[in-house]
Structure 1
Amino acid sequence: MKQTNSSTTHLAELGSDRTELKTFRLGELFSGPGGLGWAAKEAKNPGAQIVHRWATDYDEDTCRTYASNVCGAPDAPSVIHADIRKLNYQRLHDIGDIDGLAFGFPCNDFSIVGEQLGFAGKFGPLYTYGLEALLQFKPDWFLAENVGGIRAKGGMALKQILSGMVSVGYKVYPHYYKFEEYGVPQARHRMIVIGIRDDIDLEFGVPSPTAYADADVSAKTALSNIPSWATNQELTRQSDLVVERLSHIPAGGNAWVADMPEHLQIKTRTKLSSIYRRLDPERPSYTVTGSGGGGTHIYHWSQNRALTNRERARLQTFDDNFEFYGSKESVRKQIGMAVPPKGAQIIFEAILNTFTGVPYDTVAPSLAHLIPTN
């Protein structure tokens, strides 16, 4: 392995034996509430760790949530509330250099439930700010994340993004992760790209999900035994009509059940499967999103109500002591935009294993065919 710029700190000294811990300083763009930031801090490796350096996001509540849970203080100066399009990167340079970069660039224009405007939309081009950060900071590695819908239309958008990553000096390893295969109690599918700088003689291997084959990913287990002290447990008000409608929907079903009474039927042309959809207690949840109106809350399998934000956070694998800031609606959006921390932790651990030579089971990147060859 060639020389990298990651810092090294001493863990302990016992007699003449010295143990050194390689420390990777992490910067984040579009940081969200801390799904990736928390996961990076929790990543386990006998010879390396990831520590927070700086993060930025456009939403003020989100920044407070991130700073409080990842940095230990809701007003931590290393978490910058700013619109990335107006942020002077010198502010990040002033905080310090980084060895790793994470950027879950906004997915709105690539989501299959949106208009799929791609690069023509408001959010589609924002990945370029990640490329600029790679050029300026030259970290050893990066992690970029977006929705699986970015593979649409033959992967044209993803090809362009990967080409940009390669052009700024990185080998890339794009993979379509199904997080329920990694012990997350939710069918959440995401495109994640790991990049390693060209001059570093290492190859990344996508962590195999085999070790998690027997994990209990049922919604029932995920939502059990939530402690009374857990925050963000406020119930959503259900109208009498909604309660009555839910009473006719079985576990795992939605508003389009065949025997729904006439006065409770929803008369729309499109029949989205997520409308008034109840969880199946024996299966992983369907994808947690930031939406909630018009029957798009996630609904309990036996109780005629929507899930609380803490229950949503459980499905996303946030710890119960992870506290979200803001209104109930703001918290719902934060949880929906996040990467499941326990799933992301597995990927960060694979990065640390790669840089420290620790063997682990791997699979080939499923989207490697979209990497530019020239």
Structure 2
Amino acid sequence: MMTQEKPKIISLFSGCGGLDLGFHKAGYQTVWANDFEHFACETFSSYFGNGIIVEGDIEQIDPYKDKSIPDCDLILGGFPCQDFSMIWKQPGLNGKRGNLYKSFLRFVDAKKPKVFIAENVKGLLTANNKKAIQQIIKDFESIMPGYIVTPKLYNFADYGVPQFRERVLIVGVRIDTGFNFTHPAPTHGPKGQYPYVTAGEAIANANDIPFNNEHMNIAERTKELLKLIPEGGNFTSIPKEHPLYVKGMISHVYRRLKLDEPSKTIIAAGGGGTHGYHWPEPRALTNRERARLQSFPDDFIFKGTVADVRKQIGNAVPPNGVFALAKSLLPLFTGNYHHADLEKKSAEFQSMTLKERLDLSIAV
């Protein structure tokens, strides 16, 4: 039976709304959202409308009893990922933020959506000697009436984002729907139909946009340092014997764009040359250029200070990166699909070893 209504989203750990935007572009509608960060909530409201996002601590919200939280067709969100990041030490489920995924679990258990999508960093797959992802899958699958959970490591450049950005997307489909979900194939790059969207294409004419385009003050020493770094290079391009040589721990330090390919991963915060740098101009990227590299449209206006906006952009899911996923799930809400025996498929998944299960998470 076809439905004319847009599938309804509950959005958790929403940030500024990148994940929501990817789904909205495919025909969905967010009816309730939550985040803890004030300016992220302001940004979300300015684009998606007032009265949707609730600012506050998700651990203090009870989805079982709070009647203001509507029913939904799907739940999506990126539970905090710092404790699973591969850049820093990985405390995983033992970290202060690692167990916030349990709030996601509570919402899924309370609302029983047909599908949920949880996003996290690549490091989730190896945290706690792979015990973190194993426990998370087990917990999600234990929610009644039963979900079949499929994690996958995506590189969003393969889906039209002008940025090499790897993230895990965990998709859980309610077994009684009979919807035999498979992750969408890449659309761009060597595995797709279209070429990569390049950094040069993405930032072209970005300076013409009046919003979130402030240029950072940059020291003359830094300008001279950047002149020693070629297109696509980083701090390692500076000769060690040069008086402007700097030490760096990670490849982000003084990383300059390479215009004919997607950019490297945009990060949310940090000093010491981690801002991401333009080519050919010897300067840091503006927030609008970062937003372009994250595939946000130019009418998406971010609220807060320059640092607040950088954080929102760097923490966001790139909207274009999940558009193919959003489209692939649409038949679930129209009923226009062949009903499969997911009980059998779930049993097959349960019989797999952990290694076999995690092999499903290799980048598509």
Match of 1:117 among 91, 94, 109: 91
Q: C-alpha displacement at 1:210, in angstroms?
A: 4.5
In the TM superposition, structure 1's runs of 4+ consecutive aligned residues that sit over 6 Å from their partners are none
Q: Output the CA distance in 2 between the equivalents of 1:138 and 1:183.
A: 31
Q: Output the CA distance in 1 between the equivalents of 2:170 and 2:135.
A: 13
How high is the sequence identity, in percent, across the aligned residues?
A: 38
Counterpart of 2:260, as a letter, is E
Aligned twin of 1:46: none
Aligned twin of 2:313: 335
Aligned twin of 1:186: 163
> Superposed, which structure 2 residues align to 1:12-23 within 5 Å?
20-23=3-6
Residues 304-313 or 172-181, more deviating: 172-181
Match of 1:27 among 7, 10, 20: 10
- The verdict on how the C-alpha distance between 1:210 and 1:58 changes in structure 2, with shifts beyond 3 A counting, is closer
Structure 1 residue ranges without an equivalent (≥5): 9-19, 44-48, 360-364
The answer (yes or no) to whether the contact 1:181–1:213 under 8 Å persists in 2 is: no
Instruction: For residue 93 of structure 2, give the secondary structure of its aligned residue in structure 1.
Output: helix
Match of 2:176 among 176, 199, 203: 199
Aligned twin of 1:247: 227
Q: Output the CA distance in 2 between the equivalents of 1:188 and 1:51.
A: 26
Match of 1:105 among 79, 87, 110: 79
Kindly indicate whether residue 214 of structure 2 is the aligned counterpart of residue 234 of structure 1: yes
Q: Output the CA distance in 2 between the equivalents of 1:295 and 1:235.
A: 15
Q: Output the CA distance in 2 between the equivalents of 1:42 and 1:156.
A: 35
- The verdict on how the C-alpha distance between 1:137 and 1:368 changes in structure 2, with shifts beyond 3 A counting, is farther
Q: Which has the higher helix share?
A: 2
> Superposed, which structure 2 residues align to 1:188-337 within 5 Å?
188-210=165-187, 212-226=192-206, 228-259=208-239, 262-266=242-246, 268=247, 271-337=249-315
Please give the TM-score of this superposition, normalised by the length of structure 2: 0.87
Aligned length: 338
Aligned twin of 1:157: 132
The answer (yes or no) to whether the contact 1:176–1:191 under 8 Å persists in 2 is: yes
Q: Output the CA distance in 2 between the equivalents of 1:226 and 1:241.
A: 26
Residues 109-118 or 93-102, more deviating: 93-102
Q: C-alpha displacement at 1:173, in angstroms?
A: 1.4
Instruction: For residue 250 of structure 1, give the secondary structure of its aligned residue in structure 2.
Output: coil
Q: Which has the higher strand share?
A: 1
The answer (yes or no) to whether the contact 1:148–1:191 under 8 Å persists in 2 is: yes
Q: C-alpha displacement at 1:92, in angstroms?
A: 5.3
Match of 1:81 among 28, 48, 55: 55
Instruction: For residue 317 of structure 1, give the secondary structure of its aligned residue in structure 2.
Output: coil
Q: C-alpha displacement at 1:152, in angstroms?
A: 1.3
- The verdict on how the C-alpha distance between 1:191 and 1:276 changes in structure 2, with shifts beyond 3 A counting, is same
